[in-house]
Amino acid sequence: MALAWLQHLLSHRHLSAYADGELASGLRRRVEGHLARCARCRAEVEELQATARTLSLLPQEAPPRSFALGPDQVAAPARRPPLALALRGLQAATVAFSLLLVALVVWDVAGPATSKQAAAPAGSQSAPAAAPREAPEGAGAALAATPTPAPTRPDMGLAGPQATPTPADRRRQTEEAPAAEAGEETGRSLLRVAQVAAGVAAGLAAGAWAVLAIRSRRAS
């Protein structure tokens, strides 16, 4: 009983291909063996054949015109910037400018604090070794320390807090301090300009992307 049911299941899914005469000989014989015993499958084969016959009654319609190609149809299509490429480029530009803006803002917030800290020894003589030791702690700190005029020399750090600065050193430090402040101001205003530029560029790229995307959706 279970074997007969299994044979029914195995044969049933091949009935359509059997009706089309598209089964390999071994499988065809197995299905024919099952059909001889199963009235339900025989009826199903009849129905499937009748369905195929009915569907074949659908008329072949004559094409409304000739599809023969003219020389203008086979000419290479006019080169125009592919829309998909432009959309992808604008998307990438939006992301890139947004990331740049975020990086500049982060620099603005975190950068000066570190550079002030790095610049501190220039004003006070209490810990001249602080800058060289703190600077390498983070990439941001290292970057922030670079544009400020070097407040200490490495040999000063090695000399330790007990080392008394020479009068020449003191003079140089007092001259450098205002120069460092002026440099920092210029750096800050440049940073503001860069932030605004990045923001505007991100906005423009996003706007252009949105306009193109809406137009292409309407066109399709």
Partner 1 sequence: MDDDALISRARAGDLDAFNLLVERYQGLVFNVCLRMLSDRAAAEDAAQEAFISAYRALGRFRGGSFRAWLLRIAANLCYDEMRRWRRRPLPLEAAADLAAPAAQSPESALMRGELAGHLQRGLASLPADQRLALVLRDVQGLAYEEIAQAMACSLGTVKSRIARGRARLRDYLKAQGLLPSGAALALEEE
Closest separation between CB of residue 18 and partner 1, Å? 10
| Greatest Cα pair distance in the chain | 117
Q: Two tokens at 59?
A: 């008329």
What does the alpha-carbon distance between residue 170 and residue 3 come to, in Å, rounded to a whole number?
A: 104
Residue 54 found at the interface with partner 1 (CB under 8 A) = yes
Residue 82 found at the interface with partner 1 (CB under 8 A) = no
Which residue among 26, 59, 160, 178 contacts partner 1 (CB under 8 A)?
59
Q: Two tokens at 219?
A: 């066109």
For partner 1, the closer of residues 46 and 181 by Cβ is 46
The contacts of residue 212 (CB under 8 Å, 6+ apart) are 83, 86, 87, 90
What does the alpha-carbon distance between residue 220 and residue 218 come to, in Å, rounded to a whole number?
A: 5
Q: What residue type is assigned to position 196 of the chain?
A: V
Residue 71 found at the interface with partner 1 (CB under 8 A) = yes
Closest separation between CB of residue 199 and partner 1, Å? 34
Closest separation between CB of residue 20 and partner 1, Å? 7
Q: Two tokens at 178?
A: 């205002």
Residue 47 found at the interface with partner 1 (CB under 8 A) = yes
Residue 43 found at the interface with partner 1 (CB under 8 A) = yes
Residue count, binding to partner 1 (CB under 8 A)? 37
What does the alpha-carbon distance between residue 152 and residue 134 come to, in Å, rounded to a whole number?
A: 13
Closest separation between CB of residue 46 and partner 1, Å? 4
Q: Residues in the site for partner 1, rule: CB under 8 A? A: 13-17, 20, 22, 42-48, 50-52, 54-69, 71, 73-74, 220
